[in-house]
Structure 1
């Protein structure tokens, strides 16, 4: 199978070799026009360049791509970038990007992600970006270590989002409407006004989207799932002289969602498992939650920029300030053991601010050198408050209901401050180009976790680190370039929040407070153009090695002995009690990643374009220590199908509270191989207008999601989207029909171990108080219930829809 995947990846190149015979009939002027229109300009190296001239892998998603493929949610960008996976957390707190064989989880990996996001050239949290898209100019997905040219260090890559900028000379705008058969209504639009022609302009844009999310519904027929996003953006541009430029932007996002966690009967994957009271398959899209998870997100983003250009040099200041306000509920009764849901309520408030000033050349120095030097300053202040509920159950003789719910207030506060100096120099000698850069990072962070008014942990970090990058490329001709590059990266050690044990062990703490991560990467590749730019082919291979990579336990997490406070009816602590709990702990492990990526685009005939891209990346932990379930003590992670009893767990872990294992296994949970194929054919049908048919197929290879879960492997599958419609030649209007997931492919992407509920059990030995005659209850003691259902996630449901767009002026 691996040979097949590599063959399929390399076959992208065969298309480029075999295609020339198909276009001999085209004229030379047409080919030259095609080459001009096929140029894609990127700013990956802090200056405008043809993407084919940059010695790095860069996937671009233009405003035209977003419109043509009806991309509404930013996560759909991953369908155009093989090897990239974009997700938002179920609790609404942040999101993540996974790329090149490793994962990132904001709940585990802190504020410095594996893949850094940027909005208008300033770093920003993924949660702001992974929303409904509108009025986007261009998206660039750059792979490999980043950090010597701008922003923060990130080992796997960066994703930059540039909003459409105001036009100084023309009025214009657009309106866009999408509706589908599964409850989505999406309106978006923009208007551009040149206040003073050639000097000042403003642009206003917004989106209103309502949908049913992933369409997972409760079995009890309660409220349907629902999501609404309201967002607006105001941008301004001022150029009082030809050497001075000011930009400003304000954006607000207000998103509300009522969602359910999808489940399926464990017997769907394991025929030997106990039958569920109600059999639920993955295709049913059902949940056993009784009430929806409520999420409210409010983001306010202020972004500003100033540029001064003189004597062939440019001084740039880029600033940004944004706030997050997130409210969410999370049902802790996963196994649905009690009547009604028991919700943990979380409120997150955070502010972030960054400033960057850099100097770079517009005109090449001495006809040979390009440079970028700068200073970066970033501050982040996350503040999370939650109430962690512990249900206390009555004895069975008294009905077995909930006697009380002990609420434990928890506060997590952090303050991080990162400053860095960076510089990059590029020398051009004939066909050779040699580039190198460095960044010096000075990072400070303090994280405090307070449980029930008592400080459980207070960690202060202060670290300094140098990172570097280097590349060399050679142009055999204007149409063929080969390159090699290397780079290092660094991320600060993290503090994992979610284990609120009041008596953690040393081993337990080692999986909560991790050392800094370092990595080194090596890459070789080629980029080529043929047939006057009608055919483009790129191929790269890479190797990356991580030390102290934060590997988070997947699935349902790891069971551990949790000590909680016992309180009386007044709330006073009267003692402690132990129970079985589970959490996705994190281990600092060595990881090696190897991969290959390729893409080809080809203009077959006038009006007919074809492109394909593919990625194969495999990351492996090399003899790393990870948190694990190891009840038999053999040092190998167990395949767990039910929660252990407190006695079983204590016998296995002793005073450590948790088990650890030495493993060599995959570090990423997504398919190692993925590929996309796009094609569009357009033809004139009337004066000033044409018809089009386009398609997008995204293929995912086999994946072993959780190495310790025998029931969550994912087979290969493909998703097909089709589009057809009419449009004006000048782009003034378009009417289109589409089908996403045309064949209604439903694939179980993740499957947890059977869901469970932890609680405290009161006992009754038949005794009564001689004075009050009330029953004397003993305990409580830790108890656990394992259900017959597992948590699952699936591919998006099929949708048929219509899109109508009208644009005028400068668009």
Structure 2
């Protein structure tokens, strides 16, 4: 099975989610399969060399580009419906948070990082915001589950998501396609690509997309406004030498992610005054009444460029790939409070790799990787009775060397070993001012007189370098909250400010990670594999006025036992995987009070999580025109040694975990509490995820095909927040989709679709308000959507 002859030019990707961890495995018929009545093959490069998905001895899912188009995927959060192992959500702004089988973190600013790394055509993206608008003209998306400790230069404790774009064709012909769709919520999407030969052995591929949609929420949030373009040149310089140059640009606008208060009717937005009744008796101001607040918006730009030189040598293929990426964020997100962010991020990477061919007893991969990342972030969190102005400027310089060796013990058995050494130096510069008064957003001044220069149109009190201007924000004694009932007990109270001062620090984190595995071809169509791999994510710093400001690395060790099988002349696929992960020193980011009594977003190392389970994937071509598929994932997670300290006043921390009061902190209005979450299941980890689909093709007399598809996904109950509160529990639910597609034999199609047929809406993320025990902000899954799609290929 391992040495199957791969004729890449003749293998046609079927629009199915085939392989070990596929949630919707059959949505379109592969042309090559029509003759063979088999399932065909999907090619992946998850292990740095081309191989079929069935030959890859690791847990990986692959979603074809055609399937992404058919499912209308425009945002990374949509992958949750396609790959059962991963949960992706966004609380506010443009920052998605990833959780893969319980390994993940809530990413809210540049100080925190995701445990699942995204790679765009082999280039790791340090900031999760950088994946916006990349879902067009893709060959496939690969989801690697578990730590990637040897073949990928960037830290990844949870897994990796690889975006692989379609490359130029050197056949000398002009080709391309165009797709257009329209649906409810005035959803309009257009994407197109063209392949142009410009010289012998030189071609350029240009692709672009535009996707707009009205907001799902009553205040206009939850909308979409994305535009992107990508241009790639491929040149065969000589025999065995090729050069790829690629650049892309994406813009995301509109209002951005929406949310609502738990307890309101569906999709009543945060800026809708109908939520004001929930604030009765609270000491905070309704978001819709925050003076000076401007409506939510986003104006974000992303650029990327890479070059790839590949040289075929007697030792193997040498690849050198340098890259540069830049993002400019400017958004105001509204969830349980306003978050205003202006952020510039730049990253430079370079990777050198040698990959041997696979026709000898020894196979090898050697590589070296370097990454330099710099961020300047201006942040204002307006929490209605508290405002925080922060300048965050973290940076990272990391390099890694890695190697993997494969020894063919026999023609059917292989032993694999891999190792990587990582050296990651983190540094930070940060300054912050915390104001215990109603915050404000320009251009409208605050309620109370403050020394803010409101004339500049840009975000103040920051200078052009992103630093806080000394003395720009001051609330001397004598300023008071207005004597208004909406302020409750705070009415007439004096306002104060705390200047956290400038903090600079740096730390170096080093680690060896490794992989050991064995593969055995039981038959030419059955693979048995076992592996153990470790992963590592460096520590860093968080923003606070207190002395404690840093956190340590986290690690994962993952054991996997799997089998991939094809039966009945390639018409039945049965893949199964069992896994056991140990997640240590988890980096958990959450809002809490620091030792100075200031509410801040901290990252701390907390205990251990044991993750185990199994996944079964079935795919069958029942007849020449009938495909069915099913996937079942069982996931059992348990928090162990998951204990941490937290400061709180009143009745203590608002958490669903056990709490012990250790007594008041001298000189502080708070007491110190021990929070013990042992025995709880990890957040974003449903015990059961089941999915299935059927596709029926009806050949027509004119040579065209009528294709009907139906698919559904069930997810059992889970917790969708890191506080483990009853308000964060989500009951089990089912979502189903329907599609009808007319495919002509002349290169065009017309389709109709309905997604979320039953209009089942659930909360994908629930976060408590930092100053209330009863207010919870929720991000909701999309409601029922429907529309038509047409396309042509030439």
Place the TM-score, normalised by the shorter chain, in its bin.
Answer: 0.7 to 0.9
* Change in CA separation of 1:189 and 1:525 when aligned onto 2, cut-off 3 Å: same
| TM-score calculated relative to the size of structure 2 | 0.79
The answer to whether the Cα contact below 8 Å between 2:596 and 2:668 also exists between their aligned partners in 1 is: no
2:573 paired with 1:536 = yes
Q: 1:242, CA displacement in angstroms?
A: 2.2
Task: State the Cα distance separating 1:225 from its structure 2 match.
Answer: 5.9
Specify the SS of the correspondent of 2:729.
Answer: coil
The answer on 1:384 being equivalent to 2:418 is no
Corresponding position: 1:626 with 2:644 = yes
Shift in Å at residue 621 of structure 1? 2.1
State how 1:709-748 maps to structure 2 within 5 Å. Answer: 709-729=725-745, 732-748=747-763
Task: Please give the secondary structure, in 1, of the residue aligned with 2:108.
Answer: helix
Query: What does residue 554 of structure 2 align with?
Result: 517
| Partner SS for 1:686 | coil
Go from structure 1 to structure 2 and tell me whether the alpha carbon gap of 1:289 and 1:692 turns closer, same or farther (over 3 Å shift).
Answer: farther
Look up the match of 2:5: none
Alignment partners' CA distance in 2, 1:674 and 1:99: 13
Q: Which one of 692, 696, 708 corresponds to residue 677 of structure 1?
A: 692
Tell me the equivalent position of 1:588: 606
In the TM superposition, what whole-angstrom CA distance separates every residue of 1:11-54 from its partner, at most 9, and x where no partner exists? x99xxxxxxxxxxxxxxx9898233x611111111111111111
8 Å CA contact 2:635–2:688 kept in 1: the answer is yes
2:314 to 299, 311, 314: 311
User: 410, 420, 426: which one pairs with 2:390?
Assistant: 410
TM-score, normalising length from structure 1? 0.77
Pairwise mapping of residues 551-590 of structure 1 onto structure 2 (< 5 A)? Answer: 551-553=588-590, 557-559=591-593, 581=599, 583=601, 586-590=604-608
The CA distance in 1 between the partners of 2:188 and 2:264, in whole Å, is 37
SS in 1 for 2:181: strand
How big is each residue's C-alpha offset from its partner over 1:191-218, in whole Å with a ceiling of 9 and x where there is no partner? 1101124x000011101111124x1123
1:772 aligned partner: none
Which residue among 217, 221, 232 is the counterpart of 1:235?
A: 232
1:481 to 516, 520, 527: 527
Could you say if the C-alpha distance between residues 32 and 50 of structure 1 is closer, same or farther in structure 2, counting changes exceeding 3 Å? farther
The alpha carbon displacement at 1:547 in A equals 2.0
Where does residue 202 of structure 1 map in the other structure? 204
Number of residue pairs matched?
A: 677
Instruction: Tell me the distance in 1 between the aligned counterparts of 2:719 and 2:209.
Output: 38
**In structure 2, the residue corresponding to 1:257 is in which secondary structure?**
coil
The match for 2:48 is: 46
Other structure's SS at 1:70 match: coil
Residues in 1 aligned to 2:550 and 2:653: alpha-carbon distance in whole angstroms: 22
Q: 1:617, 1:323 → 2: CA distance?
A: 37
Structure 1: distance between partners of 2:150 and 2:580? 19
What SS is found at the alignment partner of 2:551? coil
2-side partners of 1:666 and 1:351: how far apart?
A: 37
Query: 5+ unaligned residues in a row in structure 1: which ranges?
Result: 1-11, 14-28, 270-274, 281-285, 335-342, 393-405, 564-579, 641-647, 758-785
Runs of at least 5 residues in structure 2 that lack an aligned partner in the other structure: 1-17, 20-31, 267-273, 280-285, 433-467, 471-499
Q: What is the alpha-carbon distance in structure 2 between the residues aligned to residue 160 and residue 289 of structure 1?
A: 43
Q: 1:436–1:469: 8 Å Cα contact kept in structure 2? A: yes
1:373 partnered with 2:387: no
Secondary structure (helix, strand or coil) at the match of 1:116 reads strand
Query: Are the equivalent residues in 1 in contact too, given 2:657–2:675 (CA < 8 A)?
Result: no
Cα distance, 1:689–1:514 mapped onto 2, change above 3 Å: same
- 1:76 alignment partner, SS class: helix
Secondary structure, aligned partner of 1:56 = coil
Where is the strand percentage greater, Structure 1 or Structure 2? Answer: 1
Shift of 1:408: 6.1
For the residues of structure 2 that align with 1:139 and 1:39, how far apart are their CA atoms?
15
Cα deviation 1:446-490 (Å, max 9, x = unaligned): 112112556443221112211101110111111222111001111
Contact kept, 8 Å, 1:448 with 1:455, in 2: the verdict is no
Distance (whole Å) between structure 2 residues aligned to residue 31 and residue 684 of structure 1: 12
Which deviates the most, 125-134 or 416-425?
Answer: 125-134
Give yes or no for contact 1:631–1:652 (8 Å, CA) kept in 2: no
Match of residue 348 from structure 1:
343
Helix, strand or coil: the match of 2:169? coil
Per-residue displacement from partner, 1:326-374 (whole Å, max 9, x unpaired)? Answer: 012245984xxxxxxxx5532110101111001111253xx31111001
- 1:659 corresponds to 2:673: yes
Structure 1 residue 434, shift from structure 2 partner: 0.7
- State the Cα distance separating 1:250 from its structure 2 match: 0.6
Secondary structure of the 1:75 match is: helix
In 2, Cα distance between the equivalents of 1:80 and 1:448?
A: 40
- Separation (CA, whole Å) in 2 of partners of 1:430 and 1:332: 57
Mapping of 1:181-192 within 5 angstroms? Answer: 181-192=184-195
Alignment of 1:483-502 (within 5 A): 483-497=529-543, 499=544, 502=545
Task: Name the CA distance, whole Å, in 2 between partners of 1:133 and 1:617.
Answer: 29
Match of 1:616 in 2: 634
Distance 1:666 1:518 in 2: 19
Highest Rg: 1 or 2?
1
Structure number with higher helix proportion: 1
Question: Which residue of 1 is the match for residue 97 of structure 2?
Answer: 96
After alignment, is 521-530 or 582-591 more displaced? 582-591
1-structure distance, mates of 2:136, 2:33:
33
CA 1:747 to 1:202, structure 2 compared with 1: closer, same or farther past 3 Å?
same
2:354 corresponds to 1:359: yes
SS in 2 for 1:258: coil
Q: Residue 81 in 1 paired to residue 83 in 2?
A: yes
| Aligned-partner SS, 2:72 | coil
Does structure 2 retain, via aligned residues, the 8 Å contact 1:688–1:729? yes
How large is the RMSD of aligned CA atoms in angstroms?
3.3
